[in-house]
Amino acid sequence: MMNFEKALELYKNEPTREKLYEVADLLLKEMTLKEKIRTLQGHALGVTAKNFLKSGRFYNGEAYPAGGCKRLGIPPVLFTDGPRGIVMKKCTCFPVSMLRGAAFDDELEYRIGEVFAKEASALDANLFAGVCINLLRNPMWGRAQETYGEDPYLLGRMGAALTRAMQDNGIIACPKHYALNSIEDLRFSANAIADERTLHEVYLPHFKKCIDAGAMSIMGAYNRVNGTYACENKELLTDILHDKWGFDGFSLSDFFYGIYDGARSLKAGMDVEMPYLFRYATLGISLKKGDITEADIDTAAARVLRALISTLPKHQKQDKSVILSKEHIALAREAATKGMVLLKNENNNLPIPESSKIAVVGRYANKRNTGDHGSSNVFSPYAITPYEGIASRFGKDNVSLYNGCKASDAMLASKDSDYIVVCVGSDWLQEGEFLVNLGNVKKKPKGSGGDRADLHIPEEDVTLIRALSTLDKKLIVNIMGGSAYVIKDWIDCADSVIMSFYSGLEGGNALADILSGDVNPGGKLPFTIAEKAEDYPPFLHLGAKDKNIEYGYYHGYTLFDKEGKNPHFPFGFGLSYTEFELSDAALSKDESSITISLKVTNKGERKGDEVIQAYIGSDSKDADRPVKVLKGFRRVSVNPGETLGTEVKLDLEDIRFYCPEKGDWVFDESYTVYIGTDSKNVTAVGKVTF
């Protein structure tokens, strides 16, 4: 009799796609109808929408199981959430994905994924639903912190790296939320409308990159896409995911309210309902009524089996001692330093000299602020605050503290200082997962997370900054938060501005590393900062009567380029304590890629990192095309005075455009290739033709 162990052995001896399908089908034939249906059902005990609201600690305290068959030795799928670490128990809280996107370093992201895989394994999970790659369309989105930025290519590169790390270590990678999920307060009712070209070029390519990288599961979204709920959307789940992309794995629903009609979802291609029996509890009845067939059940169950058979043999069980190990904590700190973005540094105000007197003030000066308290919350046993990190680095006797927003008290705490670090921005009360809305709340309670109410930092923070700027001190503004803010109204008050995002359990130490110059900042904005909120695409807020929203072809830097508007800070922007020069760029093309070779010179006196960014622009006059789009990047480290030769590769597949008439991807006749250090600071290298 075939069982799971024999299936693994057969596949191990011949690890091909054809053999995977054959072995999964053989195992499926041994299963009873009841066992096959159970494979499609989550059965987490004790978690409900009601107690999920009470405390984050109720959520994902243990891995959530789905499926499994003891008779045949088939293990259940064991779910854990992310993306800033493993949500179960007390694990290593890394910086949010948005900061990691700002690092523009997919090799670093792979290393982070290896840590996630080890800590997931130590807590007996085998599926990681933390590959969050929804596109940032408007910074109002409360869960922007969970993704990597506004650009599909950046999302794809980073998501694929995390996917590979999980799959290589025997953990099923689960990208989410598929698809067009970038509104939080109305996530259950919003209808994102996108034409075919926009769907394929802007909102789906990063998901395909993760599938191509080996992801064996994918999570559906709550929202509707072109009128149909994402977890019931045959175009997304079957026509594109399986038929066009050749996805071998399984889909699972977002929790609680992802599925409304079990039979309709199953036939559309939604394989597993999470986290417990609800709509899929009636699949047996639907089968008897003829609403679904046993073949529908077989198709879904086989996908789950393929994911387990192909992934689990790579898994090596980890001891719990790996959790919060010195190596994991050190990597969290490294990641935080690599992603922090220096936006302004007037007169080389930073780094702060040794023995300086520093005041650390503001609402987040000495407050743990690692991000959202919803499904992505990681319960690390500690988190270093800005004050703690700065005091540790510069000495407590040299650092004063005021944790609050009252200007007079902050000025008093700063009176003997040379430098003031004011910590402003947001926390989980202003942005994050809107858990209250699990009960379909129509009026948003104050301080309940969800989408941002305003793209400016709170007015009392602005008042604080302006008051402190009147002192004869060097003023550094440290912005904590998930994505872009409109800061033009106060930035002239500051000598330096740094975007530290939500930087994880070692965030305060990482901030001190940057401020002291122990680490030279090299992060780059993964989004565009506008001069005013109206420059971003429209957004839907709670209370909107019309739940339809057009997701247009242009957003972020492509929209600014198209409309000829200057952003306050462009996509890809970030300062350093040294100066770089790009030179001698040249192009070559082969059958699969374009290679840009160039030299990078560090003209300063400090070692530093530069992110070389490659963009392409179509020369076609007959089609509506972006002025330019990111299609390659490389982060390099260069010693002072050194000239480094390097290359940036662009895959030819990535520079094609989608043709709705053909239902396929096409090359334009000619492209201009640009190289630079942000989306505005680019130089044409040459042209490639097809």
Token code pair at residue 46: 């004790």
Q: Which pLDDT value is given to residue 51?
A: 60
Q: Of 75, 3, 43, whose CA–CA distance to 304 is shortest?
A: 75
The Cα 436–Cα 442 span in angstroms is 10
Residue 161 lies in a domain: yes
Q: Whats the size of the chain, residue-wise?
A: 690
Helix axes 17-29, 4-13, angle to 10 degrees: 160
386 with 509, same domain? yes
CATH of the domain at 382: 3.40.50.1700
Judge contact between 113 and 141, C-beta under 8 A.
no
Token code pair at residue 60: 């994902």
603 with 557, same domain? no
pLDDT tens track for 184-239: 999 999 999 999 999 999 999 999 999 999 999 999 999 999 999 999 999 999 99
Q: Which pLDDT value is given to residue 56?
A: 43
Torsion of CA 29, 35, 40, 42, to 10 degrees: -150
Token code pair at residue 395: 């000495």
Write the DSSP assignment of 637-680 as a string of letters: EE-TT-EEEEEEEEEGGGG-EEETTTTEEE--SEEEEEEESSSS
Beta bridge partners of 613: 633, 676
pLDDT tens track for 274-327: 998 899 999 999 999 999 999 999 999 999 999 999 999 999 999 999 999 999
Q: Of 210, 207, 247, whose CA–CA distance to 225 is shortest?
A: 207
Reported as type and span, the H/E element at residue 117 is: helix 106-122
pLDDT tens track for 579-591: 999 999 999 999 9
Q: Which pLDDT value is given to residue 436?
A: 73
Domain ends where: 530, 563, 596?
Answer: 563
What is the DSSP-derived secondary structure letter of residue 236?
Answer: I
Judge contact between 304 and 284, C-beta under 8 A.
no
Span 330-344, mean pLDDT? 98
200 with 341, same domain? no
- The gap between the terminal CA atoms of the chain, to the nearest Å, is 55
317 with 400, same domain? no
The Cα 600–Cα 610 span in angstroms is 8
Residue 575 lies in a domain: no
Judge contact between 273 and 42, C-beta under 8 A.
yes
Given a cut of 80, whether residue 182 has pLDDT beyond it is yes
Beta bridge partners of 496: 345, 476
Q: Which pLDDT value is given to residue 135?
A: 98
Burial of 461 (0-12, 13-18, 19+ CB in 10 A): buried
User: Which range marks the domain in which residue 652 is found?
Assistant: 580-689
Q: Report the percent of the chain where pLDDT is more than 70.
A: 97
Residue 570 lies in a domain: no
Reported as type and span, the H/E element at residue 218 is: strand 217-219
The Cα 390–Cα 396 span in angstroms is 8
ω into 381 cis (within 30 of 0) = no
Given a cut of 90, whether residue 7 has pLDDT beyond it is yes
118: CB partners within 8 A, 6+ apart: 169, 318, 322, 328
**What is the gyration radius of the CA atoms in the chain, in angstroms?**
25
The Cα 646–Cα 429 span in angstroms is 44
CATH of the domain at 32: 3.20.20.300
Judge contact between 171 and 315, C-beta under 8 A.
yes
526 with 655, same domain? no
Q: Of 186, 105, 46, 162, whose CA–CA distance to 612 is shortest?
A: 105
Q: Which pLDDT value is given to residue 60?
A: 84
Q: Which pLDDT value is given to residue 437?
A: 65
92 with 125, same domain? yes
Judge contact between 378 and 93, C-beta under 8 A.
yes
Residue 120 lies in a domain: yes
Q: For residue 655, how many C-alpha atoms fall within 13 Å in the half-sphere facing its CB? A: 30
pLDDT tens track for 127-165: 999 999 999 999 999 999 999 999 999 999 999 999 999
527 with 639, same domain? no
Q: Of 124, 128, 134, 123, whose CA–CA distance to 113 is shortest?
A: 128
Residue 314 lies in a domain: yes
Burial of 372 (0-12, 13-18, 19+ CB in 10 A): buried
The Cα 113–Cα 131 span in angstroms is 10
The Cα 27–Cα 11 span in angstroms is 12
448 with 408, same domain? yes
Given a cut of 50, whether residue 418 has pLDDT beyond it is yes
Q: Which pLDDT value is given to residue 435?
A: 76
181 with 251, same domain? yes
97: CB partners within 8 A, 6+ apart: 83, 84, 132, 145, 146, 147, 148, 158
208 with 243, same domain? yes
pLDDT tens track for 479-506: 999 999 999 999 999 999 999 999 999 9
CATH of the domain at 604: 2.60.40.10
Q: Cβ–Cβ contacts within 10 Å for residue 348, how many?
A: 9
| DSSP-derived 3-state class of residue 29 | helix
292 with 394, same domain? no
Given a cut of 80, whether residue 55 has pLDDT beyond it is no
Residue 569 lies in a domain: no
541 with 646, same domain? no
Q: Which residue has the tokens 């997304």?
A: 236
Residue 123 lies in a domain: yes
Number of domains in the chain: 3
Residue 326 lies in a domain: no
Token code pair at residue 608: 């530093």
Domain ends where: 258, 291, 321?
Answer: 321
Predicted TM-score of the model (pTM): 0.96
pLDDT tens track for 535-544: 999 999 988 9
Q: Of 304, 190, 295, whose CA–CA distance to 544 is shortest?
A: 190
| DSSP-derived 3-state class of residue 360 | strand
Token code pair at residue 21: 């399908």
Q: Which residue has the tokens 């902050």?
A: 410
Reported as type and span, the H/E element at residue 186 is: none
The Cα 522–Cα 513 span in angstroms is 12
The Cα 35–Cα 292 span in angstroms is 17
The per-residue b/e assignment along 401-420, b for 16 or more CB within 10 angstroms, e otherwise, is bbbbbebeebbebbeebbbb
